[in-house]
Amino acid sequence: MVMAEITNIRSPRAKAARRLVKRAFRDRDRAFLAEGPQAVREALAVEGATVELFATTEARTRHADIVGAAAAAGVPVHRASGEVMAELTQTVTPQGIVAVCRFVHVPLAEAVPSGARLVAVLAHVRDPGNAGTVLRTADAAGADAVVFSGASVDPYNGKCVRASAGSLFHLPVATGAPVAEAVRQVREAGLRVLAADGAGTRTLDDADLSRPTAWVFGNEAWGLPAELLDLADEVVRVPIYGRAESLNLATAAGVCLYASARVQRQTLHAVEEPTTRRG
């Protein structure tokens, strides 16, 4: 059902949604905002993830498929004025559609079960744009899960959600665990732990990436401290062939995750091909 237009940010529904821009309220309500058609569309694809939808008149027309999907799922749709939408969003040019969603993360053991082959662990990653981009890249590379350590940014931060471009709703995400606990869990699941760091003794070109792997990525500014490097089975650096001093976190993570995904897929196909021929 499409509700009457909300024109005042002080209205109960708009006010309740607006406060979710703050982490304290997100944690209390166990809800967050997903902004833009891509994120909203992916949220609606997960049963029970979407609580309610706000859309301007223009956005309702432009994204009639999303509004229709919300209505079909029994999700209340609130028509919001441009002024109210501007208060609910954190972008310079809002796209006119925002969903209130329930938290979607899962326990660490559920996110990284036995049989997982590729996992990204974010250790003290504070920049929400980088964290969201790593999440999106991990999804694209076919990773099984992403773990946000307790000292990392909140995955439900608005900028992180936007940077994930809907991938937050695609693969298991675990939050809150100390890095040491995350490493213990991925090892129990049978994964080898590689730390990505510029001080690595082995380059990505030389590392064995054929085995199930959990990559640990550190803070944007100072990387991984010694105590976290010691948790890894091996410290690996991305080779720099040009004159750049380093790669930023999201780029380095993308290179590492795709390198692992490529080698694992090649290894899997090499094992399957002889079996197919014998058949």
- Residue 9 burial (CB count, 10 A): 17
Determine the Cα–Cα distance for residues 148 and 123; give it in Å rounded to an integer: 7
Token representation of residue 279? 């058949």
Q: What is the mean pLDDT of residues 189-201?
A: 93
- The one-letter amino acid at 119: V
- The one-letter amino acid at 227: E
Q: What's the full length of the chain, in residues?
A: 279
* pLDDT given for residue 159 in this prediction: 96
Read off the pLDDT of residues 102-129 as tens digits, 9 standing for 90 and up: 999 999 999 999 999 999 999 999 999 9
Question: Does the pLDDT at position 1 exceed 50?
Answer: no
Residue 10: Cβ-neighbour burial (10 angstroms; 0-12, 13-18, 19+): exposed
- Report the mean per-residue pLDDT for the chain: 92
Kindly report the CA angle at 130 between 259 and 203, in degrees rounded to 5? 30
State residue 155 phi and psi, 5-degree precision.
-65, -15
Read off the pLDDT of residues 54-100 as tens digits, 9 standing for 90 and up: 999 999 999 999 999 999 999 999 999 999 999 999 888 889 999 99
Residue owning tokens 């976290």: 228
Residue-range domains of the chain with CATH: 12-102 (3.30.1330.30), 108-273 (3.40.1280.10)
Token representation of residue 166? 């809907």
Read off the pLDDT of residues 182-192 as tens digits, 9 standing for 90 and up: 999 999 999 99
Kindly report the CA angle at 58 between 57 and 62, in degrees rounded to 5? 120
The answer to whether the CB of 98 falls within 8 A of the CB of 35 is: yes
